[in-house]
Amino acid sequence: MEMDCSHTLFLDLYKSDNETFSGQAPIEEKETELIFVHIGAKEFTVPCKPEKIDVVIGMNPTYIWSLENGENLTLHSGASLILHEFRAEESGRYTCSISFTEEDQLHTMTFSHTVVGYHIRGELEVLLIFQSNSCDKQLTREFVRTLHAQLSQLVFHLRCELLSGSTTCFPTVEKPLDEFNLQVELKVTPFGKDWDKSCYPQIDSMALECYHSAVQKNLQEAKEAMTEFMDKNKNFSLETSNGSDVSFVNTFFNFLEEGKCHEGYGQTQELQSRCPDCCTLCPPGTYSVATTDSCVLCPIGSYSLHYGTIICISCNNNWLTSHPGARTSADCMNMRAVAIAFAVAGRNIVPLLKLMERPKYKKKVLLLLQLMNRPKYKKKLQLLLMTLSL
């Protein structure tokens, strides 16, 4: 039976990374823990050592946290990591390394936590129609800006946020030359400042129930406040540059409750069993747009580095990836060389080609030279090296 060449190469490549110096015990790496945090959660604590793992930490431990989410960042040192006002870009793989001395030997334990942001589906679509005697772009833009500022201030105090939508101006059927309808679309999201003030930010049934209650309460209060405001303010007036007034009279006002995932989010199996109406940030290698509620693999020839991607990055030089769902630019390959290599050497050459196309692997040349001494691969490698030098 043939040995998987790629498996052998990668084992050799990383074998020396765990070598230790005298007086230092081997580094212990624990399994990754998956943690979900609601976007905008006021505070969330990630312990270095998960409660379910029973290990003994020695004397005078030191802690180092790092975040890998497309780039490596070194964070503060401490037994727990506290995240405030959690943002989508803070999703990623958090690693905590604990170093301590036991029996005159330095020990290091590494715990990994994959922290992923999510949001509960829930928002209000707002549709307003105003009748006016002008469709001037500058005037309508100024009016919509003023209206948005007034309504934003209103919902801000109710822990909500007002987002702008599309604006359309068109003539009326009755008086197409003198009267116009200005259609304004807005969106109310319940995740404003301190939206979860009364909730404990953990992913369990009690927290989810509290989050759901907060979402519904915030939206209902915003809906009532906006309705009262529009009932009292039917006629809006705007002064033009020449001193005349342009009026905007509200003729229609309505809400539509929406339950879609935001861009960059999708429903995943890991969280859906506990929260059917929760949307998780799409992981690296995938993306999503507002029209879908699922994460889609990046197509061949593209990749995504971060959580919450809405557009995958195309490979440079029109290079392609060997599979959908690529996560880094290192997955991009010169497919001209691939095609020739396939024709010359067949499928067994692909792992070697990938290795040569990825400059981050420091030992690739040494590995290839070692393989050159094996008759089984010598001819294929010679042909491949000739191909890549063309």
Please choose, from the candidates 330, 308, 386, the residue with its C-alpha nearest in 3D space to the C-alpha of residue 90.
308
Q: Which residues pair with 185 in a beta bridge?
A: 127
Residue 311 lies in a domain: yes
Q: Which residues pair with 306 in a beta bridge?
A: none
Please choose, from the candidates 134, 215, 224, 226, the residue with its C-alpha nearest in 3D space to the C-alpha of residue 180.
134
Q: What is the pTM of this model?
A: 0.70
pLDDT digit string, tens, across residues 304-313? 999 999 999 9
- Same domain for 161 and 80, yes or no, is no
Tokens representing residue 164 in the block: 């702008």
Give the residue, 161 or 375, on which the prediction is more confident: 161
- Same domain for 226 and 314, yes or no, is no
Residues 65 and 79: their CA atoms lie apart, in Å, by: 9
- Same domain for 248 and 182, yes or no, is yes
pLDDT digit string, tens, across residues 273-285? 888 889 999 999 9
Residue 12 lies in a domain: no
* DSSP code for 136: -
Residue type, 293: D
Average pLDDT over residues 162-176: 90
Point out the domain boundary residue: 232, 256, 280.
Answer: 256
Q: Which residues pair with 132 in a beta bridge?
A: 180, 248
Q: How confident is the model at residue 155 (pLDDT cuts 50, 70, 90)?
A: very high
Burial label for 326, CB within 10 Å (0-12, 13-18, 19+), is buried
Residue 340 lies in a domain: no
Percent of the chain residues topping a pLDDT of 70: 73
Q: Domain range for residue 173? A: 124-256
- In this model, does residue 362 exceed pLDDT 50? no
Residues 386 and 390: their CA atoms lie apart, in Å, by: 7
Percent of the chain residues topping a pLDDT of 90: 36
Which pLDDT score is estimated for 380?
60
Residue 244 to residues 24, 154, 170, Cα–Cα distance (Å): 82, 29, 22
Give the residue, 348 or 5, on which the prediction is more confident: 348
Residue 90 lies in a domain: yes
Lowest-confidence segment of 34-38, 55-59, 221-225, 297-301 by average pLDDT: 55-59
Residue 36 lies in a domain: yes
Report yes or no: 180 and 134 within 8 Å, Cβ to Cβ.
yes
- Same domain for 96 and 128, yes or no, is no
Residues 58 and 103: their CA atoms lie apart, in Å, by: 9
Which pLDDT score is estimated for 292?
79
Give the residue, 286 or 334, on which the prediction is more confident: 286
Point out the domain boundary residue: 118, 134, 153.
Answer: 118
Q: How confident is the model at residue 244 (pLDDT cuts 50, 70, 90)?
A: confident
Residue type, 373: N
Which pLDDT score is estimated for 369?
46
Number of other CB atoms surrounding residue 260 within 10 Å: 15
Helix (H/G/I), strand (E/B), else coil: 303: strand
- In this model, does residue 204 exceed pLDDT 90? no
Average pLDDT over residues 141-157: 94
- In this model, does residue 8 exceed pLDDT 90? no
Which pLDDT score is estimated for 295?
93
Q: Which residues pair with 287 in a beta bridge?
A: 296
Helix (H/G/I), strand (E/B), else coil: 307: coil
Point out the domain boundary residue: 70, 87, 118.
Answer: 118
* Helix (H) / strand (E) containing 311: none
Please choose, from the candidates 250, 290, 247, the residue with its C-alpha nearest in 3D space to the C-alpha of residue 125.
290
Give the residue, 311 or 193, on which the prediction is more confident: 311
Residue 342 lies in a domain: no
pLDDT digit string, tens, across residues 101-139? 887 888 888 999 999 999 999 899 999 999 998 888 999
Q: Which residues pair with 203 in a beta bridge?
A: none
Give the residue, 6 or 358, on which the prediction is more confident: 358
Please choose, from the candidates 127, 130, 209, the residue with its C-alpha nearest in 3D space to the C-alpha of residue 166.
127
H/E/C letters for each residue in 336-379?
HHHHHHHHHHCHHHHHHHHHHHCCCCCCHHHHHHHHHCCHHHHH
Tokens representing residue 342 in the block: 């396939």
Average pLDDT over residues 373-379: 59
For tokens 């109310």, the residue is: 188
Which pLDDT score is estimated for 232?
94
Average pLDDT over residues 81-87: 87
Q: How confident is the model at residue 154 (pLDDT cuts 50, 70, 90)?
A: very high
Q: How confident is the model at residue 57 (pLDDT cuts 50, 70, 90)?
A: confident
Q: How confident is the model at residue 41 (pLDDT cuts 50, 70, 90)?
A: confident
Report yes or no: 25 and 106 within 8 Å, Cβ to Cβ.
yes
Burial label for 51, CB within 10 Å (0-12, 13-18, 19+), is exposed
Count up the domains in the chain and report the number.
4
Q: In sequence order, what DSSP letters do the residues of 259-274 get, joined into one string?
A: -PPPTTEE--HHHHTT
